[in-house]
Amino acid sequence: MTSRAGLHFKTYCMLLIMIVFAPLGNVMLGKGMKSLGAVATWAPSELLHVASRVFMSGYIWLGVASLLTFFVAYMLILSWADFSYVQPASSVALLVVALLGYFYLGEKISPLHWAGIVVICLGVFVVGNTPPRTTEVH
Amino acid sequence: MREALLLFLVVVSGTGGEICVTRAMKRVGEVKDFRPLAVLRVILRAMKLPWMWIGISMMALAFFSLLAVLSIENVSFVVPVTALNYAAGALGGKFFLGERVTPRRWAGVLIVCIGVTLVWLGKR
């Protein structure tokens, strides 16, 4: 049986993994796609060509691996913690994406853009603090 | 315009996919046994439902749209905008799954929408 302190430690570890790996995954996908250049076509044959280059990119695979790590941590934590407890972590992850984009990828973010990101985080936090189940179980 | 269309696909197809998967999983029933073999049986049962396949296809479309839009726009713009998933999720949950969406949740969705508007305006 897990002690209370142990459960807290496990929960914080999983939250940390989620907050680090989801943004990292998105940033890696962004870096990989930017290095391939803008996808400017809808023609199926061209898209196939783009797809083959996408799957040759190391950054894309790093991104997919990071997102999978996030997903496994997410599934695991949901097996013992409430959804409404876990979900606000997504709002922190949004902020981490912006910080990584700014510091690691050198993206330009205007003050209005920052303000928007903070407001979105707040909104996601409010959404997350609501009961996870509202329908009757049949 | 193209990025708006792609972001629309990311949000609507992603949320639509999740709603279809939810429909399928609710039909499968609550998972209570987490031993590997039991989980595998649940997955196999879910894979027999058309809703599951519709959901997976829509989520795949959303993922590839995300890749396409990331080739055009910055992650610090794209990822915050995809928070619109919460708005689409609240609407979809209410109208397709019959979930009751609390006023507090609607308030959160509204705040998210205001934030996305600011991000969109701040990009210009």
Residues 6+ apart with CB under 8 A from A24: A63, A66, A100
Least trusted range by pLDDT, from A24-28, A73-77, B47-51? A73-77
Least trusted range by pLDDT, from A6-10, B19-23, B31-35? B31-35
- Picking from A25, A47, A23, the residue whose alpha carbon sits closest to that of residue A36 is A47
Nearest to A135 among B71, B99, B110 (CB): B99
Give the DSSP H or E segment for A118: helix A111-128
What digits encode the pLDDT tens for the residues B35-71?
888 888 888 888 899 999 999 999 999 999 999 999 9
A126 contact residues in B (CB cutoff 8 A): 104-105, 107-108, 111
Top residue of B3, B76, B104 to mutate, by most chain A CBs within 10 Å, is B76
Nearest to A109 among B76, B101, B117 (CB): B76
pLDDT of residue B110: 95
A105 contact residues in B (CB cutoff 8 A): 74-76
Each domain of chain B, given as residue ranges in start order, spans 2-123
Indicate if the pLDDT at residue B34 is higher than 80.
no
Residue type, A62: L
Determine contact: B33 vs chain A, CB below 8 A. Answer: no
Please tell me which residue, A90 or A103, carries the higher pLDDT value: A103
- Cβ distance B105 to A127 less than 8 Å, yes or no, reads yes
pLDDT of residue B62: 94
Domain count, chain A: 1
> Could you write out the DSSP letters of every residue in B55-81?
HHHHHHHHHHHHHHHHTTS-HHHHHHH
ipTM topping 0.90: no
Asked whether the whole model's pTM tops 0.80, one would answer yes
Determine contact: B103 vs chain A, CB below 8 A. Answer: no
- Cβ distance B118 to A29 less than 8 Å, yes or no, reads no
> Are B71 and A54 within 8 A, CB to CB?
no
B104 contact residues in A (CB cutoff 8 A): 126, 129-130
Average pLDDT over residues B94-120: 90
Rounded Cα gap, residues A117 and A111, in angstroms: 10
pLDDT band at A138 (very low <50, low <70, confident <90, very high): low
pLDDT band at A134 (very low <50, low <70, confident <90, very high): low
Other C-beta atoms closer than 10 Å to the C-beta of A135 total 11
Nearest to A119 among B101, B107, B111 (CB): B111
pLDDT of residue B31: 73
- Cβ distance B108 to A127 less than 8 Å, yes or no, reads yes
Q: Is A15 exposed, middle or buried (0-12, 13-18, 19+ CB in 10 A)?
A: buried
H-helix segments, chain B = 2-28, 36-47, 50-70, 75-81, 85-96, 103-123
Please tell me which residue, B44 or B124, carries the higher pLDDT value: B44
A134 located within any domain: no
**Domain hosting residue A9, numbered range:** 4-128
How many alpha carbons lie under 13 Å from residue A69 in its C-beta half-sphere?
20
Top residue of A113, A121, A129 to mutate, by most chain B CBs within 10 Å, is A113
